[in-house]
Chains A and B, each alone.
Chain A
Amino acid sequence: MIPAIMPMYKINPMAKDATTKSKTGTRDRINQRIRQRDKATLTKIVDLADDVAGCAFKGRDIRVDIPTRTRSNTIWNKKRGILQMGDAKSQRELFNLNQAKQFMQTMLHGNSIKELINAQKTLSLRGMFYKGLHTIQGTKSEKTFDGQDESDSILEDLEVGLGALREELHVYAKKRGTMVGNITIVDSGDEIDCRRMGSGGYAVPSITEPDIIQFKKCEAKFVLHVEKDTVWGRFNEDRFWEKHNCILTEGSGQPPRGMRRLLRRLNEELGLPIYCLLDCDPWGHYIFSVIKQGSISLAFESERLAIPSAKFIGVRAMDYARCQLSDDVQIKLNDNDTKRAREIAAYPWFQGNKGWQKEISQMMQNGFKMEVESLITKDISYVTEEYVPERLKKKDWLD
């Protein structure tokens, strides 16, 4: 059964054979929306600058309000099953010794974004760092940015401060994550058949919004997301997605925003359930939590990234006994792991979940963690041929 594809994305507006009136109309509509979006972003930036100038002329406090991106300002929306950002804001003041430089950097990036929008171009995070980089006038060698980290964090501040998404600021991140499976998509006008991606797979771009990527044809019935490309390679070589008619994705650890957005759209627009195969350690648990509820630092994006229906199929703490794994796969929990595990267990969105409380406490009882690769010790293809199919068949997963 082919899941229903939302009409809006049925046709690729940029396709070379798109000549019909309706196709052109779709492209126009998208372009028009982009224009409107850019206009809105521009207005926000100019408003920000006007505000600063106004305060300066009137001798008022010169500052920018930036919502805080910390655990304390993260609210667990139990009803919707996602993390949301609270209302707490921190002031970034020009006349504060610790914030003066960041304030200046915020203004510099504001200006860079305006230039990007006017030129209708985009830049990577690294590109933005170089765009804003120069020696401050009046000093001998002080640079505007000491490193890309400073620049990246200012851009995230601008996202939340302006209430605009990264792509709306014409900025994108390094691409990370891979996809393969029974689906055909259109990426910036190019049709991509994910069934024919060889051993490497389709590299998921940083921005996977509908105006970049449209779903053309999908036969898959679910998505299997694995933690790392080594495991993904095993599944791909065994043609797991073909045998089980699914999509196979990988996020190189914590999946980047592009990957998460794509999973969310597969889930939301195509109705595919998402199953995750992650390590049995606090890090794997938190990756699942990010996919499912959203992350703390990007809580403002949960609305479009979180997948409350995602399932965790393994590796489970009980698998050591259940699968009769050898002692060699144990990795001892260190103090850091134990601390992190307790922290995760105490997060509100884990607290009310009995299954997870049990899972974490069992891992702590075991006193060791296990990677997905540990299943390979049983047999090279044990994980693809027995472990995952069995879990799916038995609907044996954690919510």
Chain B
Amino acid sequence: MTVSMSGTSRRSKPETADSMSARQKEISVSEFFAKNRHLLGFDNPRKALLTTVKEAVDNSLDACEEAGILPNVTVVIEDLQPDRPANSKQSRYRITIVDNGPGIVRKQIENVFGRLLFGSKFHRLKMSRGQQGIGISAAGMYGLITTGKPMVIFSRPHSRKVAHHIELAMNTKTNRAEVTVDEETEDFPPRSRLYSINSGTRSPEFLNAEDYMTGTSVSIELEGRYQKGRGSVDEFLELTAIANPHARITFVPPTRISADEQEDLPFTYNGNGAARIQPASDREDQPGSRSAGHNNGGLSDIDPNITTVEKDGIIYYPRGIDQLPPETREIQPHPRGIELGILLQMAKDFEAENRGGGTLYNFLQEKFSRVSPSKAGEFCKVVGGHSRTKVSDLSPQQFEKLFREFQESKLPAPPTDCLAPIGIRQLQSGLLKGVKAEFYTAETREPAVYRGRPFLVEAAIAYGGELPADQPARVIRFANRVPLLFQQSACSSFKACGETSWRNYNLSQPRGGLPNGPLVIMIHLASVWVPFTSESKEAIADYDEIRKEMKLALMVCGRKLGTYLRKRQKMQREAARRDVFERYIGEVSKAINAIAGHDTKKLYDCLLAEARRRTAIADAQLDEEGKTIKKDEHEDLKNDDTVVLVESRAVHLQDQTDEADDESADDGQEMVKLSSGSRRRKASGKSGRSRDRDVE
């Protein structure tokens, strides 16, 4: 693939076609992208750092899943200029990503890392994270441009053989890699180099050789800027961990962070991480082992205690579920999902495959999905041929006719076994470890079709717990399990959230906006081809079919949340009523004792028992009076597989009333409390509650 550009003309000296032709030459893809780096997500130093991590992690996860390995991914960001002045915002970083994937055989390494648009995923209709094959090589190219340093690659395709250590730099003129170092080594995973970063990397738990029997390690040096908050590496990894509960991700952030860093991480880590850390070895099945397939064993018990922890300067995103996502099938394009030019190209390729001898009938049957033999026959007749008509004999007019027929004819929807939903339990597991809420629910929709391409929508909601209560809900968006961090308002999912009537589910919502409350809304779109609004893959294009599915998924989740909230409100009312009675009966018993000498304790106990009995009765009556709450609705929720409740994180009602006394009227919202032992977060001002992350 080439991009050609014509030279610019100068007014002063009239050019001739001949003189111009001297400057008209092919430019390589690499050159084009080197000058237009924003197209690939390298707009600024901060985003460049993120994009590099993102492309490498996406590749690692794709590779592991294709090989049927439960992914272990380690991300290390080293600050190479720790002594730079305090006010300098950017620095040179070395980013290293190590995975336990199948590795890459020696002869393909140059192609995979050293050429743009070289990859296994572009030519097929299969659901995967990466699509174009630009990512990692573009990151390497960016690093080369900003620092002049080559990419360092370690790869071990076979666990019993030595690993390769390759260093290569891309030649942007030729779109080819130039290898500077090529040697064999036993150092995989490359611990020796990463060993001394901090106390965490010295622990044997870090890059344990048993967890990385095979795999690939990539290091890229680049000019970047490490900053937390929205659109940061931290957020990306957090969200990746949520959408990929089967992956275990280890993150070593740089020791020094930029001077003006905002402490604004959406989900709070547990500050007392050390107490809650899960010994990794206890939980994992045998490291590096191939997955046991898609059995359902152990799915039913998600452990809400598996949460992201931070220890010795390393952040661990543990594996929430020991099951790989189902393998997806590659599909042929659906007749309705292609354009005329593509049809012509496909026909040309088919001719070439069959050395000019392929028939139209066979072409339709083999290269498209959902074209039955009779349908193929019909198409042949429509274009004025028969089943033996050769593809090479068709005129452009006949192709156009065929293309129109594709649009009008009745065809079944494309097959949907090419889609792998994350799954309800997996979504819950992912949210449970990443978001400290009290209520979780998830929904997976049946596959649907846009423009002849199958897609599938999943939604999940986490509510309450430690989430900030006085802000609009946070929407986290995923496409094929990859978090989308930018351009939220341009995204179809964001529009779907705004169009859903959250007020029906007991949440407050400004007109057309996001609902307010301690809420995280997750939307995942899985498709063989995700329609992004731009090459940088930041927002999902707004197709009606997609938005409708998203809304339906959100409504299912919303209804369950509504049920839970009504129940919670009811409990609150009940508790308030009980509270009122219990407050006064003490005084009543004492007064009666003083007047008539009855035993205070006995009287108090009797009244208390009565108060408890009364509040129960009062609630039952409330239900009978036609309120929507059914008596056993909460029980229903508990038995609902799509709902997870973490009661211990539910804001305690009693405390809440006391809290209100303390805080006076300036903060009428529910207080968000941390679980036991942690300090309490309070509103720091009217403009917004600063959410700080505990780093220790």
Name A residues whose Cβ lies closer than 8 Å to a Cβ of B. Answer: 45-46, 48-50, 52-53, 56-57, 59, 62, 94-95, 97, 100-101, 103-104, 107-108, 110-111, 114-115, 136-142, 144
Contact = CB atoms under 8 A, between A and B. Distances in A.
Q: Which bracket fits the contact residues of B?
A: 20 to 34
Contacts of A46: 595-596
Interface in B236-295: none
A95 B614 contact: yes
Given A136-B587, A141-B661, A114 B594 contact: yes
Contacts of A110: 591, 595
Contact of B583 (A45, A103, A142): A142
Given A53-B603, A104-B584, A95 B591 contact: no
A138 B604 CA distance: 14
- Count chain A CB atoms within 10 A of each CB in B583, B588, B595 and give the residue with the most: B595
Contacts of B583: 136, 138-139, 142
B451 to A, nearest CB: 59
A111 B586 contact: no
Interface string B625-662: 00000000000000000000000000000000010011
Given A94-B585, A103-B584, A107-B591, A59 B610 contact: yes
Contact of A53 (B582, B596, B658): B596
Nearest to A59: B610
Contacts of A114: 594-595
A100 B594 CA distance: 19
B369 to A, nearest CB: 65
A107 B586 contact: no
A136 B586 CA distance: 8
Contacts of B592: 49, 52-53, 107
B608 to A, nearest CB: 10
The 3 closest A-B pairs by CB, nearest first: A49-B596, A107-B591, A49-B595
Contacts of A57: 602-603, 606
Contacts of A94: 581, 584-585, 588, 607
Contacts of A139: 583
Contacts of B591: 49, 104, 107-108, 110-111
Contacts, number: 82
Interface of A is mostly: helix
B577 A62 contact: no
B662 to A, nearest CB: 8
Contacts of B580: 97, 100-101
B653 to A, nearest CB: 15
A387 to B, nearest CB: 55
Contacts of B598: 49-50, 53
B475 interface: no
A128 to B, nearest CB: 14
Nearest to A53: B598
A56 B587 contact: no
B34 interface: no
Contacts of B661: 140-141
B611 interface: yes
Interface string B557-586: 000000000000000000001001111111
Contact of A95 (B594, B595, B606, B611): B611
B367 to A, nearest CB: 73
A137 B584 contact: no
Contacts of B584: 94, 100-101, 103-104, 136
Interface in B649-686: 658, 661-662
- Count chain B CB atoms within 10 A of each CB in A53, A103, A108 and give the residue with the most: A53
Given A49-B595, A114-B595, A141-B661, A103 B606 contact: no
B610 A62 contact: yes
Given A49-B598, A53-B596, A111-B594, A144 B587 contact: yes
